[in-house]
A and B are shown apart, each in its own frame.
Chain A
Amino acid sequence: MTSLPASTGKRLGLVIDLDTCVGCHACAVNCKEWNTSAGASPLSDVDAYGADVSGAWLNRIHTFEVTPEDAPAQIVHFPKSCLHCDDAPCVTVCPTGASYKRPEDGIVLVNEDLCIGCGLCAWSCPYGAREMDPVENVMKKCTLCVDRIYSETLPEEDRIPACVRTCPSSARHFGDFNDPESTVSQLLAERGGIDLMPEMETRPVNKYLPPRPKTRSQPAAAPATVSAPVPKADGFLGWLDAALDKLG
């Protein structure tokens, strides 16, 4: 059903720390690996070893340059995947009911057997979170690794999304935003969270932690002036000094 639930029991999602992300793309690679082998259908590529490589990914890492008015530019690596919005437009536009938001935990999913591949959900998403699978011809998106987080066979420490599990700089955190004790809620309380494009009124669940302020280097002090008198040379150097002085 493509009507949105009024509220969801849990609000599962990610907190992504833009301060610690090093832009290594490991989250995107692990996401691709997990979702091409464990999902309903492979996450396909076309011409993977050719000149015109293309494929569906659920997580992509952009890199931005941010230039303050009064300081040098800084680089911010910016991982972007589905934000599992509370008011997800991709769900309500779906004509078949393939796209849905789960009332129990708020995860936005696609039922691939119902998807007709019309692409309207991707058009309605401001974040580019959905990509058409070039081989399966159905819409693919981040599942928040629904097949990991509820798994009863994976080791306990692996029951988090693949991107979170693999992040070497702990820039990605997973949890329930409805639980004030969860890591993600506490990070938000401590650091403040950014909503992407709030003007689109999608109310994203995923939040981004802002980069911490950079230490600003002090303006360089004026070079020390030579004030001590130059010692007077004598002998040959004294003669040379006097002769050169005369030359002007």
Chain B
Amino acid sequence: MHPAVSVIFFTVTSGAGFGMIFLLGLGFPVDASALRVFFVALVGGGLAVAGLLASTFHLGHPERAWRALSQWRSSWLSREGIAAIVTLVVFGIYVLIWMMTGSRQHFLGLLAAIGAATTVFTTSMIYAQLKTVPQWNSRLTPLVYGAFALGSGWLLASAVGTHEAPELWGIALVVLAWGAKWFWWARAGRARLADSGSSPETATGLGFIGKVRLLERPHTGENYLTREMVHRIGRKHAARLRMLALLLGGAAPVVILAIVGLSGAPSLFNLLAAVSMLIGLLAERWLFFAEAEHAVSLYYGHR
């Protein structure tokens, strides 16, 4: 699949933003000064909004994006849009009351947390629902999206909030998230298009005669399908990118958190861990798209 920068940026930043909203809604401690609360909420909400805005850039008609809120009965993309907006509104009210009264409305916070979790889940289901991409079509996909949202959200929240010694939790969540991704990668290695039961033989229905091979494409150039779904250029540096994702997204944050935790440095340094993890996640998300094999490639002689 073609790794669109806007969608990669969207899933990573909105994941971190909603991860942070989830934690704040559940009562992640923040020093009570209204300015501090505003700043913290701005980081979480801002990332979520920035991600959502980025996602509209890959639309052919961004000005019609509001129409995407209508088909929640059948469409995960529609559900995501609604969940994101409802969550942001509830979270906004929660933060406003918190800033004005200095006390947190636990029920509203819980609603925002549930909304944030729902949003990340619906995002992941946009990909996990697709039978045409066997590597995505797994329950592990929502698990990985959720775990990364929680991990990166925790790192951000721990940097700007006032949690007592958040580093240990941070390390645990980062390790757990990459553990989930490790399982996802292991499954993806076994769940390639060739393993899925689809083949040039089933794609053409000609398997009853013999072995099927594409002799000639319909045209000499590229088309929307080959650019979007038979995209293979992005896989060129897969091994290196995977290493980069693990180093920047996993190892570096763990080391930074350990140093901050052991040295007693201010938690603000956890921001370095958060930024490193987000950059690593951009590489991870690039591979999520670039390495995915779409069934339509069977009609174009590829996998």
Q: Which residues of A contact B250 (CB under 8 A)?
A: none
Chain B positions 227-273 with a Cβ under 8 Å from a chain A Cβ: 228-229
Q: Mark A119-137, 1 if CB is under 8 A from B, else 0.
A: 1101111111001101011
User: Are A122 and B218 in contact (CB-based, < 8 A)?
Assistant: no
Q: How far is the CA of A74 from the CA of B130 in the complex (A)?
A: 33
- Confirm or deny: B214 has a beta carbon within 8 angstroms of a beta carbon on chain A: yes
| In the complex, residue of chain B having the shortest beta-carbon distance to the beta carbon of A96 | B67
CB pair A64–B224 under 8 Å, yes or no, is: no
Chain B proximity mask over A162-180: 1 for CB below 8 Å, otherwise 0:
0000000000000000000
Q: With an 8 A cutoff between CB atoms, is B101 at the interface?
A: no
Which stretch from B37-45, B74-82, B113-121, B161-169 is at the chain A interface?
A: B74-82
When distances are taken between beta carbons in the complex, the residues of chain B under 8 Å from A131 are 223-225
- Contacting chain A: which of B15-23, B57-65, B86-94, B142-150? B57-65
> Which of B24-32, B170-178, B181-189, B200-208 participates in binding chain A?
B200-208
CB nearest to B208 among chain A residues: A210
Structural contact, A2 and B75, CB atoms closer than 8 A: yes
Contact of B130 among A65, A71, A95, A123 (CB under 8 A): A123
Report the Cα distance A117→B68, complex, angstroms: 11
Pick from B133, B197, B200, B221: contact of A123, CB under 8 Å: B133
Question: Is A197 touching B203 in the complex (CB atoms < 8 A)?
Answer: yes
The reply to whether the CB of B212 lies closer than 8 angstroms to some CB of chain A is: yes
A116 part of interface (Cβ distance < 8 Å) = yes
Q: Determine the chain B residues whose CB is within 8 A of the CB of A1 once the complex forms.
A: 71, 73
Q: Bound complex: CA of A37 vs CA of B78, how far in Å?
A: 33
Whether A122 and B224, one on each chain, are in contact in the complex, defined by CB atoms closer than 8 angstroms, is yes
Query: Are A116 and B65 also in contact (CB < 8 A) when A196-B205, A197-B295 are?
Result: yes
Given known contacts A64-B214, A126-B198, A132-B60, A194 and B205 CB-to-CB distance under 8 angstroms: yes
Q: Which of A52-60, A149-157, A219-227, A239-247 contacts B (4 or more CB under 8 A)?
A: A52-60
A63 neighbours in B (Cβ, 8 Å): 214-216
> Judging by beta carbons under 8 Å apart, are B75 and A196 in contact?
no
Quick check: is A229 within 8 A (CB to CB) of the other chain?
A: no
Q: Which of B58, B196, B206, B300 has the most CB of A within 10 A?
A: B206
**A residues within 8 A CB of B224?**
54, 56, 122, 131-132, 134
A73 to chain B, nearest CB (A): 8
Q: Convert A2-43 into 0s and 1s, putting 1 for each residue whose CB lies closer than 8 angstroms to a CB of B.
A: 111000000000000010000001001000000000000000
**Contact between B206 and A66 (Cβ–Cβ < 8 Å)?**
yes
Cα distance A93–B131 in the bound complex, in angstroms: 12
**Chain B neighbourhood of A66, CB < 8 A:** 204, 206, 209-213
The smallest beta-carbon distance between A126 and chain B, in angstroms, is 4
* Residue in contact with A92 in the complex, picked from B64, B75, B214, B225, CB distance below 8 Å: B75
Bound CA span A66–B210, Å: 6
Known: A95-B81, A128-B296, A196-B205. A64 touches B70 (CB 8 A): no
State which of A67, A120, A196, A201 has its C-beta within 8 Å of the C-beta of B204.
A196
Tell me how far the C-beta of B65 lies from the nearest C-beta in chain A, rounded to whole angstroms: 6
Return the contact of A124 from the options B132, B202, B212, B228 (Cβ within 8 A): B132
Tell me whether A93 and B75 are in contact (CB under 8 A).
Answer: yes
B129: Cβ under 8 A from any A Cβ: yes
Residue from the list B202, B208, B221 in contact with A53, Cβ < 8 A: B221
From the candidates A4, A89, A93, A116, name the one contacting B67 in the complex (CB within 8 A): A116
Whether A75 is near chain B, meaning CB under 8 Å from some CB there, is yes
User: Cα distance A199–B126 when bound, in Å?
Assistant: 20
Encoded as 1 (CB less than 8 Å from any A CB) or 0, chain B from 276 to 294 comes to: 0000000000000000001
B68 adjacent to A118 (CB under 8 Å): yes
Find chain A residues with CB under 8 A from B223 CB: 54-57, 60, 131
- Determine whether B299 belongs to the interface, using a CB cutoff of 8 Å to chain A: yes
**CA of A62 to CA of B301, assembled, Å:** 10
- In the complex with contacts A80-B299, A131-B224, A64-B59 CB distance below 8 A: no
**How far is B64's CA from A136's CA once the two chains are assembled, in angstroms?**
14
The interface residues of chain A lying within 8 Å CB-to-CB of B214 are 62-65
Residues of B within 8 A of A197 (CB): 198, 202-203, 295
Query: Contact between A114 and B67 (Cβ–Cβ < 8 Å)?
Result: yes
Neighbouring A residues of B299 by C-beta, 8 Å: 62, 80, 127-128
Q: Name the one of A57, A61, A74, A210 contacting B205, with C-beta atoms under 8 angstroms.
A: A210
A-B pairs with lowest CB-CB distance, top 8: A117-B60, A137-B60, A194-B205, A60-B218, A68-B210, A95-B68, A95-B78, A128-B296
Interface residues of A (CB under 8 A from B): 1-4, 18, 25, 28, 52-57, 60-69, 71, 73-76, 78, 80, 89, 91-98, 114-120, 122-128, 131-132, 134, 136-138, 194-201, 208, 210-211
List B residues at the A interface (Cβ < 8 Å): 1, 58-62, 64-65, 67-71, 73-78, 81, 126, 129-133, 196-198, 200, 202-206, 208-219, 221-225, 228-229, 294-296, 299-300
